[in-house]
Amino acid sequence: MTYIFAHRGSCKDCPENTMAAFKKAYEDGADGIELDVQLSKDGIPVIIHDEKLDRTTNKKGYVTDYTYEELTKFDAGSWLSKSFSGEQVPSLQLFLEWIAPLPMLLNIELKNNIIEYNGLEEKVLQLLHHYGMEERTVISSFNHYSLVKIRKMNAYIETAPLYSSGLYEPWEYVKAVWSQSAHPHYKSLHPYIMEGFKQNNIPVRPYTVNSQKWMNYFFEWGTQTIITDYPLIAKQLLNNPSP
């Protein structure tokens, strides 16, 4: 059975990476949530995708130029709809407090491939430990040095390299960066690549699988997880496959 992870929460119905989107993902029956983490000016892990605030808040400039206190004052919902005007940029701590009692899996993507946030890995690991979330979390990143750093600090937490295309024998690459699973762009997953992962017992979680054709393809393959903007549709398709 394939797990369904909600990409940035249920980001088509609610503003991405907000508590509204995460709560909707839970209501939609998603098995897990994918989210993006960066650091505020005062070093607090916060959940937001872009390095800049411009696209998803009512403020301009870099996330790293504002303290967490300042970030909480910005509107992270109105860009999608006025009905979400109360939404904030959540801290990772606030999110973990919410998800810890729920039976959900978690994928934290460290957004440190453009800005290398000093201490991001340590802070995320400390929070996961504090909330007892280590066993149901996978940490991914496009910055693969960061994944090796995580592994050196914590021998148990699962890590996964994110990549878009063209890796030669990616199951070997996963091992080379001391990881246990792979988060590739879905279009890079040709059958012989899928077979290579399977032979090497490496779970694969393709992103971002939004068409029903591709969802069915991955379900048929027995892919461990898909990351999608449409968790409700994916769950319905999985539970009621067309004849």
Catalog residues that contact Mg ion under the rule CB under 5 A.
Answer: 36, 109
Which listed option, Mg ion, ligand G3P, none, makes contact with residue 227 (CB within 5 to 8 Å by class)?
A: ligand G3P
- Under rule CB under 6 A, which residues in 1-60 are in contact with ligand G3P? 7, 34, 36, 49
Q: Which is nearer to ligand G3P, 38 or 88 (CB)?
A: 38
Nearest residue to Mg ion, scored by beta-carbon proximity: 109
Name every residue whose Cβ is closer than 8 Å to that of residue 133 and which is 6 or more positions away in sequence: 96, 99, 100, 106
Q: Residue 146: how many CA atoms within 13 Å on its side-chain side?
A: 26
Contact 131, 96 (CB under 8 A): yes
For residue 213, with 0-12 CB atoms within 10 Å meaning exposed, 13-18 middle and 19 or more buried, which class applies?
exposed
Q: Does 140 bind ligand G3P (CB under 6 A)?
A: yes
For residue 16, with 0-12 CB atoms within 10 Å meaning exposed, 13-18 middle and 19 or more buried, which class applies?
buried
Please give the Cα distance from 122 to 51 (Å, whole number): 20
| Joined tokens for residue 213 | 């054709």
Q: Which is nearer to ligand G3P, 70 or 214 (CB)?
A: 214
Contact code string over 58-97 relative to ligand G3P, x by CB under 6 A: ----------------------------------------
Which listed option, ligand G3P, Mg ion, none, makes contact with residue 75 (CB within 5 to 8 Å by class)?
A: none
Binding residues for ligand G3P (CB under 6 A): 7, 34, 36, 49, 109, 140, 162, 183, 207-208, 227
Active-site positions? 7, 49
